[in-house]
Structure formats: C-alpha cells, structure tokens
A and B are shown apart, each in its own frame.
Chain A
Amino acid sequence: MGFEDIKALLINKFGEGIIVGEDITGLQPALIISPERIAEVCLELRDNEKTWFDQLSCLSGVDYGIEENMFGVVYHLASIPYKTQLTLKVRKYHDRSRDELPSFPTVSSVWKTADWHEREAYDLLGIGFEGHPDLRRILLPDDWEGYPLRKDYKVQEYYHGIKVD
C-alpha cells in the first residue's frame, strides 16, 4: 500500500480530521496525525490486513525549538509482510512550563516496544504519555532535574553534592 492509499484508508476510517498535515519535502513522506487519536490510528495500521505495520522501528521525541515551542513524537512503522515503512508524527504546542508536560496517548498497548521508548522520551525531553503503565526515568537517575534534550535545558549545578559539568 502506498502513501496515498494509507492516507485514504485513515480518512475513510476515522474521518477527515484525523490527518492534520503532512511532511512531503524529504525522501520519506510523513503523516501528521491528530494527537489525541494516535493510539487508535496505530492500532488500526497494525491490525488492518492491508497495512499490517506489525513493528515499531523507532519512536523519537522531538523538541522543535524555542521559537516554535512545539513538542512532538515521531513514529517509524515497519511492515514485515509487505516490507514497507511509514512515518507518523504528532505535534503539540507547549509553553515549556515545568508543572505540566506536553502529553500524548501511549502506544505501548499497540507495540510493547513503545514502553521503553516512551520512557526515554519522557526522561530526555519531558514528554508525557497518557496511560503508560510505567512512566519512570530510564537513562537518568530518578531524581535528576530537567530534561536534557530540551532546547532550553540548563544543566543543574550540583547533583547530590557532586559538581555537574
């Protein structure tokens, strides 16, 4: 199934509003999905006989920069039977306040792979995932302050009395 077919399939199933945009400038076209419904879309793409995206290759959290104040998650799907790939994206505006994280629905119920990847995105970028069963830091210590991959990240001066440089 080609890119356009998948687009048609999703619009057919979820309605016009499901795709909020697309990135077709590069070598790999990507669909920007309405953030609230990403888990449903993923489940459909995994289970539909025509697409069969049974593997989640990669899940990356992205901070799109200080001017835009935009956070997003990029999903790279792979279909083993059809040998195809697909990129999905979700984006959300967020003002970078500490109290509330930009958050998206978890897809860890669709692919178990997403469990650790979402924890990583939470750890390094401070992106929350609603419904994630085990959202803890994965690479950094539990009491680390801040999210290192955010563009406005300032490293803490001391960590347990140890100077951080």
Chain B
Amino acid sequence: MNSIKPTRYEQLIAGATSTEMILNIGPQHPSTHGVLRLEVITDGEIVREVIPHVGYLHRCFEKHAENLTYQQTIPFVDRMDYLASMNNSHAWVMGVERMLGIDKDIPKRIEYIRVLVCELNRIGSHLIALGTYGIDIGAFTPFLWCFRDREHIMNMLEWASGSRMLYNYIWVGGLFYDLPVGFEERCSEFVNYFKPKMVELNELLTGNQIFVSRTANVGILPLDVAINYGCSGPMLRASGLKWDLRRVDEYSVYPEIEFDIPTGKGEMGTIGDCWDRFKVRIDEIGQSVRIIEQCLERLQKDLKRTPDFDPRAKLPKKIIPKSQDFYIRAESPRGELGYYFITDGKTEIPKRVKARAPSFHNLSVLSEISRGILIADLIAIIGSVDIVLGELDR
C-alpha cells in the first residue's frame, strides 16, 4: 500500500510551472466559517487548482462515540454542526428510536415540538449562511439584519432548552422539557415580526445588481456532478433537483405538513450557480416559516399543553437496540445528515458510529467547480457552499 507512487496532490504541487504560484487561503479566512485551508495554484489571478485541507477542528466525534451511550452522545452531536444543533440531535434520536422500534409510539405533541424547533433552527442556520454570504461578497448590512433576526430565534431556543447553541433538547423517546409556557404565543409573534423582515432581506440582496454580478454564472455546479459528488441540501436543489429528505423519507410529522421544495431556476444566470444557491436558501426560509405556522396551529389547537403531559414519559430506561447496523438520514439545513450505527445488542454503547456530514460532501466538489475562475470568485463559491467546519471534520 505504501508504495512510492506520488499521489495526485504531490503531482499537482510538483507540476506547478514557474509562472504559477501556490497560494494559501486560510486556515483562518473570514469567508470560511471555521478553520479551513485552501491551497490554491494560481496563474496571475486565475485559479488553476484548489486543494482543500480539512481536519483542523477534528474533535474525534466517532472516537468519543465509542465510549458513550446513545443518550450521552446527543450533546456531542450538537457540537458537530453548531449552527443547527436541533436538526443534528433530531436525526440521531430518530435513528436510535427506529432501532429500538419505538418511533411510532412518540406522542404527536412531541413530534410537532421537534419539527417546530428544528425549523426554527433551520431558519437560524440559513440566516447565518445568507448574512455571512453578504459579507463575503462585500455587503455588510445583510449580516447585521440576519444576525438581528437570528437573535430572536436563539433567545427562544435558549428559553426552551436553557442553552444558547448546544441545546441537548431532543432526547431519545421524548424531550428534555416541554415548551415553556407562552412559547407558542411568542413564536407566533416572532413569525409575524419576521415575515416583513424576510421581504426586506430578500429585496436587499436578491435583485441587487452588484450582488447579481458577483454571483450569477459563478461556480456553476451541473446536476450530474452534484449527484456524483454526493452533494445534498440547498447545494443539490440549486442545481435543479427536487430532492428533500423531509419529503423523500417522510420522517417525523412532515407528511402531515404542507410545504414546497424550492429549486434553482437559473433566473439570473445558469442553473446551479452561486446566485441559485443563495436564492434556494432564501426560499427555504419562507417554507420553514410556513411549517412553523402549521406546527403552532396544531400545538395551540388539538395538541394543547395539558398539566399531566410528560415529555419524558416514553424515555426508555435502558437503550439497548438489538444487534444490527442501521443508517439513518435526515435533512439538515446543509443537506443529508446521516448516521451509521453498528450495535452489538449487549451494551448501551454503539460499537461504531459514522456521521455522514453534508458539508463534507458539499466541500469536496469545490476543486471541481473552481478551475479557471478568478480568486475573488473562489470566495463567492466557498461562501455559497455554506460549510460548517465543525461538521466537516467532525
């Protein structure tokens, strides 16, 4: 195995000509939200090749999971994608529940609360993606606006779970707490406040001539390439495919909820360019608001809070799934989030856990779509991928 044959990386570095320059972008570049180093071979301002180096944040999630029980791992799952912790723990919990065979017994109220907080978290995550994307392109206002609105979501989720970013709120078999009294009302208030703000946000960038010039026809990702590289989420949908695991796998209570799946249309340029990826996220926020409204309606009408309702009633005493291996996938804000479990049926500790992180796949396509572009466009492309490095290295 350890033959002397040089790898592709070594060939690329050795093959750089005297007119080319090897440039490092990162490890800490403002457009990479986390620590990422890009080794770029450039000819003047033209990018010849991009080689991403990941692994700076590697905190050994899979190694940790070898020593922790299923319940104890939930906080570690939150730390992977710290911008969408709820979605991470939802996926994890669903996988464990399905292995235990209790996924059908979860009370409806709990399921609706889960979907509610997940969608709130999705909006928060997309707001960061959009706001910081504005900064990557050179606009500062969207950043402030997005963070202002996200703060409301953070406050609400903090109120529900007691923590600002790493919630540990969704548990196997239930929730840590029921929603605090008055949460539904405050959430409705937020929705009413947020709707006009969303229109403003949309007007601010979507049709902005400078923004369109910087993003349209840049970093075009054709659909077949996206599929081959395993891209998912907004990245895949922007390339024109209607593929959303909330609809495909119909998990939790999503089948009961109405929402659309936005896809890239290429309105300003070509299908699958940076502008499309931006637009898909904007549209998805709108759809998440729709889902939240429906959840709130159900929670306030026929799934009302009752004094004897215990969100931990279904919590299993011991979580020992029977011996099997299981792959669960769910739609996180960045795409398909998967967990692969191997259990031996004897202990509460999984034998092996592998996390399939959407950012990992989405970033791997970077070198494919950024050959022959300008360095400034490379920044636009990285921003449009919406990577979270904590999830990328896990």
**A residues with CB within 8 A of B:** 23, 25-28, 30, 54-58, 60, 62-63, 65, 74, 76, 80, 83, 85, 87, 100-101, 103, 111-113, 115-117, 124, 128, 133-141, 148-149
Contact = CB atoms under 8 A, between A and B. Distances in A.
A101 B1 contact: yes
Interface of B: 1, 7-9, 54-55, 58, 60, 62-63, 66, 98-99, 225, 227-230, 241, 243, 248, 322-327, 329, 336, 338, 340, 342, 351-352, 354, 356, 360-361, 364-365, 368, 393-394
Given A63-B352, A65-B351, A117-B360, 13 more contacts: A26-B323, A26-B324, A26-B326, A27-B324, A28-B327, A57-B329, A58-B340, A58-B354, A76-B327, A111-B228, A140-B58, A141-B55, A149-B352
Contacts of B55: 137-141
B364 A26 contact: no
5 contacts: A25-B323, A54-B227, A74-B340, A111-B228, A112-B365
Nearest to A133: B8
A26 B230 contact: no
B308 to A, nearest CB: 33
Contacts of B340: 58, 60, 74, 76
A55 B368 CA distance: 17
Of the listed residues A54, A135, A139, the one surrounded by the most CB atoms of chain B closer than 10 A to its CB is A139
B9 A111 contact: no
Nearest to B368: A112
A115 B324 CA distance: 27
Contacts of B1: 100-101, 103, 128, 135
Nearest to A89: B325
Contact of B7 (A23, A111, A117, A135): A135
Contacts of A87: 325, 327
Contact of B227 (A26, A80, A117): A80
Given A54-B227, A74-B340, A80 B241 contact: yes
Nearest to A135: B7
A62 B9 CA distance: 26
Contacts of B243: 80
A58 B327 contact: yes
Contacts of A116: 360-361, 364
A57 B230 contact: yes
Contact of B229 (A26, A28, A113): A113
B339 to A, nearest CB: 9
A57 B63 CA distance: 21
A100 B3 CA distance: 11
Contact of A27 (B326, B338, B356, B360): B326
A128 B5 CA distance: 14
Nearest to A155: B63
A148 B60 contact: yes
A133 B5 CA distance: 10
Contacts of A28: 325-327
A63 B60 CA distance: 16
Contacts of A56: 230
Contacts of A54: 227-228
Given A27-B98, A139-B393, A57 B327 contact: yes
